[in-house]
Structure 1
Amino acid sequence: MDIVKKQSSQRHVGIIGAGPAGLIASDVLSQAGCQVSLFDQMPSAGRKFLIASKGGLNLTHSLPLEQFLQQYRQHRPVLAPYLLQFGPQQLREWIGDLGFETFTGSSGKVFPEDMKGGNILHALMERLSHQGVSFYFSQRWVDWQADGSPTFLSGTQTTTFKFDAVLFALGGASWPQLGSDASWAPIFSSHGIALSAFKPANCGFNTNWTDHFRTHFAGTPVKPVSITFRDLEGRSFHQTGEFLISDYGVEGSLIYAGSAFLREMILKNGSATIQLDLAPQWSTTRIAQKLSAARGKRSLTTHLRKTLGFSGIRTALMYELLAKDYRDDPALLAQSLKSLPLRLNSARPIAEAISTAGGLRFNELDQNLMLKKFPGCFCAGEMLDWEAPTGGFLLTACFSTGMAAAKAILSWLQSEG
């Protein structure tokens, strides 16, 4: 095993993980004059960041700050100190400093005007290179030494590096093919560091479509549509948007918005039922009035099309999910179209999820994100035990904790002399 020691009087910081948290920390620390070595087990940086930019890189959200913080739900108390220091506005300014202006879309989501995440990543990597950051790719972190020095495996060669401080930004457990495989978790556990079990977040769910429905409608979007359910604490969830029919069940932004609650309901009860409102623009009374129009010899399919404008997926969902007894009475049918029950049986595998819940527990860290058991070793990003909905909240918290850890490292290095 080789041992690599720092080669200058500069403070040398090792950053393990070249995702958003590790990249922004590398920027801050190298600008502050530290010698920075950035590691990743993949052949290049930001693999998952690039996937997130497909269809437009949703960096953050324009919600007022208090509403923004509420999106982190039970994790708000632990994340708020970092998001208040580096939140949506500061992230937009940092991206602007890289040369990319941002704009707010109609939904409140914030995007760079240059929608290609690859251009932002390239600009950042260029800046890091100019600031003297050293890159070590295809290097898998495999353990600590007794003094806290990290050891890496590349091919069959192990190498231990000596640093003044280390930042772990190793990601969660989703999209393992892009590097977030949680291979670090057993190593942390072996050193007595407590973790919460990883669970899929922002994920799809399995349901029992009939073969006919699956064959004809998999891949079809449903919009606009509302979903309603009560979570384990009896709180009502109601939101309007869109989701996608898949061959296994349902996925998409509206499903992801409620996925944390639905996942926990399924874990406790074995399944979860959501109510679909296929006509959110109309009241039950108005739908009943429309359906009460003379039908004559028209089929129900034709009647729905003539009276409600239903066709395709809405009509198919009605036939798929509603018992025949409810279809012929206008009042019962109206109520059903506003509250069509869909049973979800299980969450999709964690490898398919957009993000994960669980990870390194915050009580293993001090307020500066430093491991209590390994002084000088800090952690940030999705490897920490939190979750958030899509819409820019995930990326913002990753960048925010990366920024906080970098500033804490600078303070710690100064205090250590």
Structure 2
Amino acid sequence: MSLPGEDRTSLKNRRVAIIGGGPAGLMAAEVIAGAGLAVTLFDRMPSVGRKLLMAGRGGLNLTHSEPLDRFRARYGDASAWMGPLLDAFPPQALIGWCEGLGQPTFVGSSGRVFPKAMKASPLLRAWIRRLEGLGVRFVTQARWTGWNETGALTFADGSTYAADAVLLALGGASWPRLGADGGWTALLPDIEIAPLRPANCGFAVEWSAIFRDRFAGTPLKRIALSLGDRTVEGEAMITAKGIEGGAVYALSAPARETIARDGSASLRIDLRPDMTLSALAERLDEGSRGSASLSSFLRKRAGLPPVAVGLVQEALHAGETKPLPALVKSLPLRLTAPFGLARAISTAGGIARSELDERLMLHKRPGVFAAGEMLDWEAPTGGYLLQGCMATGVAASRGVLTFLAEREVRSA
């Protein structure tokens, strides 16, 4: 990446180790190697970028085109400190970077930004070629195990590596089969780490056996979900153990925290967000039902698909007493637990911001930096996760360059 003022030829003999070959680690490698330093990137998997490739199955949502002030707010409690990092590497910078790798982008109808190829593999191949051209050395199947008594990095195969600076980008704990399992938390015992929790995840619901057997794997389309004072329109998916999907993920953070506090969370589903309650009440006037079954009545008069009818019947069998129109517009669903980390799209929790300086260097370990999902932030799907990982990767890599330059001056 061509970033002004970052040529540090005086540091060309310095060695930087990056642990983790996801978006944050790869972006950091590009910035540091682009400044002329020797970079070795270690990853525990046989190849790098595996979670990026998985994201590519959904088209690879790179970032979002909304105004930057609204974009920053998507990071919730972390927006105060993530904001400056996003300002330094905003969505337009990510888009320009992607197009610089020969991958043109487009903005979808929802404002999300995708590569025109709608997959990650061409981008990843071009990226790795660029990194190799910058001299980045990749060491795969290398599981980091900590430091030895001399301060060198240690690995599971017994090898060691002495570096002038280390950048950790080991990810959170979602999708462990792709390389990020959260095991790094045990290697930083002196660092405050907020517990790793599932983010952008589905939730357990105690379905009846009849509903589960009939509708597991069925999508709920054109619905609105509400939790507290937040409402999201979109789609969801019924699973054998609960509910997941884009609209659910958008509410996963408050739902997770409500469950942690109260033991469960009450989600409300509007099965016909395009209709007012009064319009629905006219259609569902009991006087017009005649001898029709409830299922037939709801399908014909309210236009509900079978899965939505099934949800209404679930609520009625559970003792719900609301009139039908009100139930269709605000059907309660009790969420009992988030799905596990292994099924979550991303991770909440991580290294506390108080453990890091403005360069994302650990106060207690000078010369060790952290980026990506290792840090304590979360964001919804929609391009915010990848943008956040890359922005922190850029920030931490610039921190590495500043740290080494300052050390060079002191030793001169």
Per the normalisation by structure 2, the TM-score is 0.93
CA change 1:46–1:324 in 2 (3 A) is closer
Q: What CA distance in whole angstroms lies between the structure 1 residues aligned with 2:150 and 2:370?
A: 17
Secondary structure of 2:156 counterpart? strand
Take 1:288 and 1:176, find their aligned partners in 2: how far apart are those partners?
48
Alpha-carbon separation, structure 2, partners of 1:142 and 1:326: 54
Choose the corresponding residue for 1:200, options 192, 198, 201.
198
- Aligned match of 1:175: 175
Q: Give the 3 Å change call, closer, same or farther, for CA 324–162 of structure 1 in structure 2.
A: closer
Give the alignment partner of residue 380 of structure 1, picking from 358, 367, 371: 371
2-side partners of 1:76 and 1:348: how far apart? 25
Question: Matched residues in 2 for 1:377 and 1:297: separation?
Answer: 73
Are 1:31 and 2:38 counterparts? Answer: no
Equivalent residues of 2:372, 2:388 under 8 A apart: yes
CA offset digits 1:360-397 (Å, max 9, x no partner): 11111101001111111111000111111111111100
List per-residue Cα deviations over 1:296-333 (Å, max 9, x = no partner). Answer: 22222222222222231111111112249878xxx811
1:396 to 371, 387, 399: 387
Report what 2:135 is aligned to: 132
Instruction: Give secondary structure in 1 for the equivalent of 2:350.
Output: strand
Letter aligned with residue 94 of structure 2: L
Contact 2:78–2:378 (CA under 8 A) maintained in structure 1: yes
In the aligned structure 1, how far is the partner of 2:117 from the partner of 2:79?
31
- Corresponding residue for 2:325? 334
Question: Is 1:305 aligned with 2:299?
Answer: yes
TM-score of the aligned structures, taking structure 1 as reference length: 0.92
Supply the distance in 1 between the matched residues of 2:148 and 2:363 (Cα, whole angstroms): 16
1:153-186, Cα deviation, whole Å (9 max, x unpaired): 23xxx12211111111011011111110111101
Letter in 2 for 1:289: E
Q: Which residue of 1 aligns with 2:81?
A: 78
**Residue from 203, 218, 221 that aligns with 1:220:** 218
Alignment match of 1:413 (pick from 386, 397, 404): 404
The match for 1:237 is 230
Distance 2:17 2:145 in 1: 14
Q: 1:251 aligns with which of 237, 244, 248?
A: 244
Stretch moving more, 302-311 or 178-187: 302-311
Taking the TM superposition and a 5 Å limit, the aligned residue runs for 1:4-23 are 10-23=13-26
Separation in 1, partners of 2:393, 2:279: 52
Aligned in 2, Cα 1:326/1:194: closer, same or farther, shift over 3 Å?
closer
Shift of 1:138: 0.5
Q: Which residue of 1 aligns with 2:348?
A: 357
1:322 maps to 2:316: yes
Q: Alignment length, in residue pairs? A: 397
- Residue equivalent to 2:160: 160
Tell me if the contact between 2:220 and 2:236 (Cα under 8 Å) persists in the aligned partners: yes
2:251 counterpart SS class? helix
1:4 counterpart residue number: none
Q: In 2, Cα distance between the equivalents of 1:222 and 1:280?
A: 12
Q: Secondary structure at the match of 1:55?
A: coil
Change (3 A) 1:353 1:12: same
AA in 2 matched with 1:201: A
Moved more, 9-18 or 256-265: 9-18
SS at match of 1:416: helix
Question: What residue in structure 2 maps to residue 40 of structure 1?
Answer: 43
Aligned position for 2:6: none
- 2:123 matched to which residue of 1? 120
* Aligned partner (choices 249, 256, 264) of residue 257 of structure 2: 264
3-state SS of paired residue (2:308): helix
Percent identity (aligned)? 46
**Equivalent AA in structure 2 for residue 272 of structure 1:** A
SS at 1:200 equivalent: strand
Q: CA offsets, 1:62-88, max 9 Å, x none?
A: 111011111111110121111110021
SS at match of 1:177: helix
**Other-structure match for 1:233:** none
1:76–1:326 distance in 2 versus 1, CA, 3 Å: closer
Moved more, 300-309 or 129-138: 300-309
Aligned-residue offset at 1:408: 1.4
Tell me the amino acid that sits aligned with residue 15 of structure 2: H
* 2:91 is aligned with 1:88: yes
* RMSD over aligned Cα atoms: 1.5
Q: CA deviation at 1:41?
A: 0.6
Residue 93 of structure 2 aligns to a residue whose secondary structure is helix
User: Aligned letter for 2:178?
Assistant: L
Gaps of 5+ in 1: 1-7, 231-235
In the alignment, residue 304 of structure 1 is paired with which amino acid? Answer: L
Q: Which runs of 5+ in 2 are unaligned?
A: 1-10
Is contact 1:60–1:393 with CA below 8 Å preserved after alignment?
yes
Aligned equivalents of 1:255, 1:111: Cα separation in 2: 22
Moved more, 139-148 or 219-228: 139-148
